[in-house]
Amino acid sequence: MTVRTGVYPGTFDPITRGHMDIIRRGAKLVDRLVIGVTTNPSKSPMFTIDERMAMVERETAGIDGEIHVVSFDSLLMDFAEREGASMIVRGLRAVADFEYEYQMAGMNQQLNDRVETVFLMADVSLQPIASRLVKEIALYGGAIRKFVSPAVEADVARRVSEIGRKGS
């Protein structure tokens, strides 16, 4: 029997309730879900790769299914191949996401047509959540508890406090 493996890639800086929704639902589609925590040269992360991996591991600990958290710094399709994945799981929030993700799926298919991209629509209540906005809200002293778990809220508050001390 072959194990169906899916990869859910992202920076998860920080991991949000929206990410968790996609992880829970994506885990039901595969036997093994690999959460690929990556760097993105166009983003300035608030947390290191190790901190983000620890956050994702902590947040996903109670989810049913086989879930692995792995860092990667390569082309997504090379990472998917190394992990033995047959699908990439991506979450969509809005039309703007679709346009970008559709283009990426097409490019990825050109790189490796053995791996399919599966799109999951974000839960309506979670659609506006974006890590970038969560960080911005937190940096300006706003409440982020609607968007992240209490543990992630505490992680972000600690980091914002550290940033504030460095800037003083």
Amino acid at 101: E
**Residue 43 designated active-site:** yes
Place of tokens 């093994």: 32
CB–CB of 30/87 below 8 Å? Answer: yes
**Residue 19 designated active-site:** yes
Measured CA to CA, the distance from residue 142 to residue 133 in angstroms comes to 11
Report the residue count for the chain.
Answer: 168
Catalytic residue among 17, 52, 90, 93: 93
Write phi, then psi, for 128 (nearest 5 degrees).
-75, -10
Catalytic residue among 28, 43, 82, 145: 43
CB–CB of 156/144 below 8 Å? Answer: yes
Burial code (b: 16+ CB inside 10 Å, e: under 16) for 132-153 equals: eebbeebeeeeebeebbbeebb
Catalytic residue among 52, 90, 131, 135: 131
Catalytic residue among 19, 52, 90, 135: 19
Name the residues annotated as catalytic: 19, 43, 93, 131
